[in-house]
Amino acid sequence: MYATGETIHEAFWQTFLRPDLGIVADDSKRRHFEAALRMREWMFMSMDWFVRLVDRRLHWAVIWSLFSVYLYTMAFALVVNLACGRLRWAPEYTTPVDPDQSDKVMVRTAGGLLAFVPATAKVDDRVVLVRGVTRPCVLRSCGNDWRFVGTAYVHGIMYGGAFDTKKCVPISLI
């Protein structure tokens, strides 16, 4: 379960969509997303089974032949799912809606929340809520001061739900 009470798949879906950018998902997009997750899980599980089955038991030529059959089977399953409409290409997810989104990566915060942060963010950076700013900010400690890294989307604390004026302290940005 995610911190908001949702399943981790639901939280991932919501974080992936970035509702702060106004992307609205209908039921068909959700079904495609869930089908893609099931397909990916099935591919990973079958690959794990294949590797455990043939590991150090068969000659490399047999392994290569079996692996080729496996790849063709996966490709066939992918094409069938695309043709049946259970999966589809999603160009709306590959092109950023917001130029600020193009250099973002999905991470898990120290508190266990899913977030989109700038690709330049590092492990010790802090995601903070700043009074008067519409999105959480990513700051990097520089001695007694802080450097602004960029803005973030953190699923579960957007829209002011986690902001507490009693925790506000003055900081110096450089």
DSSP states along the chain? --TTSS-HHHHHHHHHH-GGGT----HHHHHHHHHHHHHHHHHHHHHHHHHHHHTTTS-HHHHHHHHHHHHHHHHHHHHHHHHTTSS---HHHHS-SSGGGTTEEEEE-TTS-EEEEETT--TT-EEE--TT-SS-EEEEEETTEEEEEEE-EETTTTTTTT--GGG-----B-
| pLDDT at residue 36 in the model | 76
Q: Does residue 162 have a pLDDT over 70?
A: yes
| pLDDT at residue 18 in the model | 60
Q: What are the pLDDT digits (tens) for 86-101?
A: 665 555 555 555 555 5
pTM of the predicted model as reported, rounded to 2 decimal places: 0.57
Q: Does residue 131 have a pLDDT over 60?
A: yes
Percent of the chain's residues with pLDDT above 90? 5
Q: Residue 56: which pLDDT band, with cuts at 50, 70 and 90? A: low
Average pLDDT of the chain to the nearest whole number: 76
More confident residue, 28 or 107: 107
